[in-house]
Amino acid sequence: MATAGGQKMVLAICAKDKRLWIYEEASGVNHLIPVTNFYNELMLEKNVRDPEVALDSKRLFTDLSSWTDAELLRAFAAYNKLRTKVKLESPILVPQEQRPSWVRRLVRSISPRQG
């Protein structure tokens, strides 16, 4: 990930060890991130209100493939605003997730299926 000012970082998630950290390229330092706090921000980002899901921070690792890069980046940006791990000179650039337009969905639904 990068900021608008060109600051580069890597959000690293290790499911095997159940740890996550941010690697700051400029300093070469790894900043450990508490799983529970980060997962809470991710649940707020996803608007998950079910207590069985929202309070089970182990799901960050077991359901890792279900989170998009953009969701994880937005969760880190929100987390870092509240509990600063990395001092940012400018906001983190988060790619926009592209949803199919209603026209594209309509065309797909009426076009003949090939197969």
Quick: pLDDT tens for 46-56.
999 999 999 99
Q: Which two tokens stand for residue 104?
A: 């594209």
Quick check: 99 pLDDT over 90? no
Q: For residue 78, what are the contacts with CB-CB under 8 A and spacing of at least 6?
A: 41, 44, 45
Predicted confidence (pLDDT) per residue in 50-76, tens digit: 999 999 999 999 999 999 988 999 999
Average pLDDT of the residues of the chain: 85
Please provide residue 55's backbone torsions phi and psi, each rounded to the nearest 5 degrees. -100, 0
% of the chain exceeding 90 in pLDDT: 53
| Predicted pLDDT of residue 56 | 96
For residues 94 and 2, give the distance between their C-alpha atoms in angstroms, rounded to a whole number: 8
